[in-house]
Amino acid sequence: MTLSHDPTTAAPVQPKLGYRAMPESSFLPLGQPPQPIRLPGTDCLIKPKVPLSTLTSYRVGGPAELYAAPRTLEDLQLSLAWANDRGLPVTFLGAGSNLLVSDRGLPGLVICTRRLRYTHFDEETGQVTAGAGVSLVRLAWQAAERGWQGLEWAVGIPGTVGGAVVMNAGAHHSCTAEILVNTNVLNRSGEPSLLLPADLRYSYRSSSLQTAAANKDQPLRLVTEATLQLQPGARPDTVLAATTEHLDQRRNTQPYHLPSCGSVFRNPASHKAGWLIEQTGLKGYQIGGAQIAQRHANFILNCGGATASDILNLIRHAQEQVDRRWSLWLEPEVKMLGEFQAA
């Protein structure tokens, strides 16, 4: 029996009887060894059976049925149109630092934006424009080196600019929504449009871009670029010192030594999720290769050989135990992709 794609939210999701298991391959011809397909008119390859465990920070998950990582906007547009013409499901991937991909992998085409990397710092406006694939950590250091303030908080977040726009990534009481000027997106057919923060219904670690990905009735939006408002004119050594301080503080309080997705659960209004889990006595609790971190209870670590199912079962266990003790159901921040077996 399988569970549909978000098995951890609100009340536990009931297994759907008769849910169709993902076929071994719904697109590739049966009986033939899978070969990369060249996207017509480009040098972009669409590769079959790419292991997503190598592309996510948890280091778990099965293969993408098909995978493309275009380097240009045009190739991204063509990839989307290619999948759309074939009626393939499409999933977007940044640095994979907030994802739990099912051990079964993902059907259809996974489009990764991590190769879309360029930055432009506009000295007149104090705005930086970055491709979706730019590393947020790298951007924070680049801004600091120029003496531009406003991204010091982002230095410990190992995602891309695209992922930050979608997740409303944040830390140290700051977040992406506060500095986003606008973002360029593509729809399912590859047509571009420019969205403003007001279009994205931002709240804590949430945006309408996430809802769109989860709900088939909503239009898909692929983030290709974002412009952020920073404050130039400070001394670089001052901004570098503040950035380093943020990084040190995180390294001292969070476990960066083993694969994880950062915080697993959103913080409820009343208490920090990590505190609730710690007070429930779950620090160090382990299922398979997945363990609730000793250093920070809102982190689940892959201690070696964990499967996505181990991690999901540990997420469920924490939700149930916290609910039993505090009558509070923790909502995951990590995005679950694919189908998961019922425990």
Ligand X SMILES: Cc1cc2nc3c(=O)[nH]c(=O)nc-3n(C[C@H](O)[C@H](O)[C@H](O)COP(=O)(O)OP(=O)(O)OC[C@H]3O[C@@H](n4cnc5c(N)ncnc54)[C@H](O)[C@@H]3O)c2cc1C
The string of DSSP letters for 248-302 reads HHHHHHS--SS---SB-BPPPSSS-HHHHHHHTT-TT-EETTEEE-SS-TTBEEE
How far apart are CB 113 and ligand X at their closest, in Å? Answer: 4
Task: Identify which range of 64-72, 188-196, 202-210, 283-291 contacts ligand X by CB under 6 A.
Answer: 202-210
**63, 131, 162, 190: residue in contact with ligand X (rule CB under 6 A):** 162
> Binding of ligand X at residue 167 (CB under 6 A)?
yes
Element (H, E) at 175: strand 174-175
Q: Does 60 bind ligand X (CB under 6 A)?
A: no
User: Is residue 102 at the binding interface for ligand X, with CB under 6 A as the rule?
Assistant: no
Q: Which is nearer to ligand X, 166 or 232 (CB)?
A: 166
Binder to ligand X among 7, 70, 96, 131 (CB under 6 A)?
A: 96
Q: Could you say whether residue 59 binds ligand X (CB under 6 A)? A: no
- Alpha-carbon distances, residue 142 vs 74, 123, 128, 185, 311 (angstroms): 27, 14, 10, 24, 35
Using a CB cutoff of 8 Å and minimum separation of 24, what contacts does 248-251 make? Answer: 249/172, 250/155, 250/156, 250/171, 251/156
292 touches ligand X (CB under 6 A): no
Does 158 help bind ligand X (rule: CB under 6 A)?
Answer: yes
The verdict on 267 binding ligand X (CB under 6 A) reads: no
Strand 174-175 to 170-171 pairing: antiparallel
Report the alpha-carbon distance of residue 138 to residue 151 in Å, rounded.
10
Interface with ligand X includes 95 (CB under 6 A)? Answer: yes
The residue among 173 and 235 lying less far from ligand X, judged by its C-beta, is: 173
Does 157 contact ligand X by CB under 6 A? yes
Catalytic annotation present for 203 = no
333 is catalytic: yes
Q: Should residue 160 be labelled a site residue for ligand X when binding is judged by CB under 6 A?
A: yes
Q: Which of 92, 141, 202, 340 binds ligand X (CB under 6 A)?
A: 92
Q: How far is the CB of 30 from ligand X (least distance, A)?
A: 29
The amino acid sitting at 266 is R
Q: Which of 80, 100, 109, 132 binds ligand X (CB under 6 A)?
A: 132
Q: Check binding of 150 to ligand X (CB under 6 A).
A: no
Annotated catalytic residue within 59, 114, 205, 250: 205
Give per-residue burial for 204-237: e unless 16+ CB within 10 Å, then b. ebbbbbbebbeeeeeebbbbbbbbbebebebeee
124 is catalytic: no
Looking at the Cβ atoms of 3 and 164, the one nearer to ligand X is 164
Interface residues toward ligand X, by CB under 6 A = 57, 92-99, 113, 132, 156-160, 162-164, 166-167, 169-171, 205, 209-210, 213, 222-223, 256, 260-262, 335
By annotation, the residues acting in catalysis are: 205, 263, 333
